[in-house]
Amino acid sequence: MCGIVGYVGAKPAEGVVIEGLRRLEYRGYDSAGIALVDGGSIVSDKRAGKLANLEKAIAESPLPQVTTGIGHTRWATHGPPTDRNAHPHLGRTRRVALVHNGIIENFAELRGRLESEGVEMASDTDTEVAAHLLEEQLETGVDLTVAMQNVCRGLHGAFTLVAVDAHDPDRVVAARRNSPLVVGIGEGENFLGSDVAAFIEHTREAMELDQDQVVTITRDGVSVSGFDGTPAEGRRYHVDWDLSAAEKDGHDWFMRKEIFEQPRAVADSLLGRRGTDGLLQLDEMRLSDQDLRDVDKIIIIAAGTSFYAGMVAKYAIEHWCRIPVEVELASEFRYRDPILTSDTLVVAISQSGETADTLQAIRHAREQRSKVLSICNTNGSTIPRESDGVIYTHAGPEIGVASTKGFLTQLVACYLLALYLAQVKGTRYGDEISQVMDQLDQMPAHIQTVLDKSEQVYGLARDHVGSRSVLFLGRHAGYPVALEGALKLKEIAYLHAEGFAAGELKHGPIALVEEGLPILCIVPPRGRDQLHDKMISGIQEVRARGARTLCLAEEGDTAIEPYADVLITLPQVPVLLQPLVAVVPLQLFACELATQLGHDVDQPRNLAKSVTVE
């Protein structure tokens, strides 16, 4: 997500930090800032928008030539992308400057305590709370390292924190919990970064940290400890990538990197969604519980990959909430004269928040007095601003044009919406909702299990370089997964690919089946409404006509084995949550096949990341 740079050495820190931030621009951001330690005080500047805005401000009001500093490019989560919400954030007495990546789940409780003690907050962020807490600790006489340890023990969530102390100009201290941070080790200087691209021009010697560790860098060394203060060791390694590969974390494509970021992206999208009372809380919702109780119909509008996330949402919402749901292509919505009332909830799904046809659709819905809730990845974008409520996906920037982690985090947001509606309307008991949330919390580990089998999928892709057509079959929540798998292949491999509901085979598509045709089959988990057995029947039908069946099925499903030419196993998960794991091999398959065909995976022909025209 956010870009972070820290430096202590002999060089002017401003140049090192700004250059490091420039090398992190690929991560996507909406504001930038810098803080330097200068003779017992903090000097800071920060600006909304691109790094060039910060550089222009610094050129007009130059910063001191000092040798310790931190910098940040922000991807907004709490609070819109404005100057006041940009990082770094300062403590009340301006002794501490702090930058932050991630989400502090219990910030509201901590903020309430600070405000009750007279602390005036200067921003809308969760980050500022940590700055005040650090300064509070420093006032007890401990150093910045101990202060960071003490503060982190009281924080919940996933975060990287990097801070400087005006009274201790020769050190930068950082902490990591489930959020990226790497140390760059130089001679007479040391670095911190959200990835190695931040410092690769200065050193290729790096150190990786474990979870719940604090690292202190000075000119002369690096020390690591646990949040409890016990000494620890980081893992040293040599970076042999060039800058381009460093930006991609060693992967050949941003898309592949983003596929492998999905466990963390899903975990981030689940952060802070349950209160201390165990109930779901969606802070950005803005719609009242009574507004939601009055809803008697939901229309989901979206385009492309987001449309398929909406199709999965229909299954979840109708099953858990018993509310009728329609899923509509945003580009078609206005033109059929939809029936909308004040009790209709229109849910708009858009990763960028600027999708033109989706934006026009929500404007039409609001003119008809319907409530609009958006699911979006980009804080401050147009669609969330023009909606009555929003659920942010917290996926972080996605550079590859073909969406991967964007899709999975949209699915998570759809599940959260469904469960929240069930909680508000009372269509599910609290323990039932908690059980599904517990299952969602396990999904990052399940997704990682699938990623660990990537070589099997890559081999499968290489075996099909000569294929000119690929079909995808699914049932129930697996049907949108089939559509998404086909879309990925179209987008980046430029192959004919179609996704079908398996039950529709006999109604026409089976005519496409010929000898050797690869068909990827998403097999539902066993034990639900005979879906599994019906899917096997469909697989038998295409296999009898010469198709090559490439089956994704849960571990332990021996019934599928006689009918699968290739079997890729998935973790055992509930049928409604299976899309979160089933789509991952399809992403890997498309990425590797496109690579083998020599295509530009990140920037496929004719496509743009955000479609801003109707």
Q: What is the secondary structure of 417-450 as a DSSP string? A: HHHHHHHHHTSS-HHHHHHHHHHHHTHHHHHHHH
What are the tokens at 490?
A: 């179209």
Reported as a single tens digit per residue, the pLDDT across 287-318 is: 999 999 999 999 999 999 999 999 999 999 99
Mean pLDDT confidence for 312-325: 97
Predicted local distance difference test score (pLDDT) of residue 614: 60
Has residue 404 got a pLDDT over 90?
Answer: yes
Residue 209 in tokens: 């940290």
Q: Give the H/E segment covering residue 247.
A: helix 243-247
Whether residue 608 has pLDDT greater than 80: no
- Confidence at 26, pLDDT banded by 50, 70, 90: confident
**pLDDT at position 528:** 62
Reading the block at residue 509, the tokens are 């598509």
pLDDT mean across residues, the chain: 93
Q: Is 475 left (phi over 0), alpha (psi -120 to 50) or beta?
A: beta
pLDDT given for residue 91 in this prediction: 94
| Token digits of residue 600 | 């530009």
Per-residue pLDDT at 380 exceeds 90: no
* Predicted TM-score of the model (pTM): 0.84
User: Residues 6 or more apart from 396 whose CB is under 8 A from it?
Assistant: 1, 27, 28, 75, 261, 265, 268, 377, 405
609 assigned to active site: yes
* C-alpha span between 362 and 383 (Å, rounded): 8
Radius of gyration of the chain (CA): 25
Beta bridge partners of residue 8, listed in sequence order: 68, 190
Catalytic residue among 2, 152, 414, 551: 2
Cβ atoms within 10 Å, residue 41? 14
**Burial grade of 220 (CB within 10 A; 0-12, 13-18, 19 or more):** exposed
**Per-residue confidence (pLDDT) for residue 410, from 0 to 100:** 97
200-204, 224-228, 237-241, 372-376: range with lowest mean pLDDT: 237-241
Q: Which value, to the nearest 10 degrees, does the dihedral of the CA atoms of residues 154, 156, 162, 166 take? A: -30
Entry field: residues in the chain = 614
The pLDDT-based confidence of 612 (bands split at 50, 70, 90) is low
**Token pair recorded at residue 498:** 């179609």
- DSSP assignments along 299-348, one per residue: EEEE-THHHHHHHHHHHHHHHHH---EEEEEHHHHGGG-----TTEEEEE
Instruction: Write down all domains in the chain, each with its CATH number in brackets.
Output: 3-239 (3.60.20.10), 251-428 (3.40.50.10490), 445-604 (3.40.50.10490)
State the catalytic residue, choosing from 257, 314, 405, 609: 609
Place of tokens 């963390």: 264
- pLDDT at position 523 is 95
Integer Cα distance of 313 and 347 in angstroms: 10
pLDDT value of position 41: 95
pLDDT class for 462, splitting at 50, 70, 90? very high
Contact 167, 173 (CB under 8 A): no
Rounded CA-CA distance 570/450 in Å is 7
Amino acid at the residue 487:
L
Express each pLDDT in 246-258 by its tens digit: 788 889 999 999 9
The pLDDT of residue 613: 56
What pLDDT is recorded for position 395? 87
2 as an active site residue: the answer is yes
**pLDDT tens column, 80-91:** 889 999 999 999
Count other Cβ atoms within 10 Å, centred on residue 60: 8
Which one, of 357, 402, 403, 342, lies nearest residue 377 by Cα?
403
pLDDT digits (tens, 9 = 90+) for 482-520: 999 999 999 999 999 999 998 888 898 888 888 999 999
Q: How many CB atoms lie within 10 A of CB 423?
A: 22
Q: Is the pLDDT of residue 459 over 60?
A: yes
Chain segment 347-371, per-residue pLDDT in tens: 999 988 888 889 999 999 999 999 9
Q: What is the pLDDT of residue 354?
A: 84
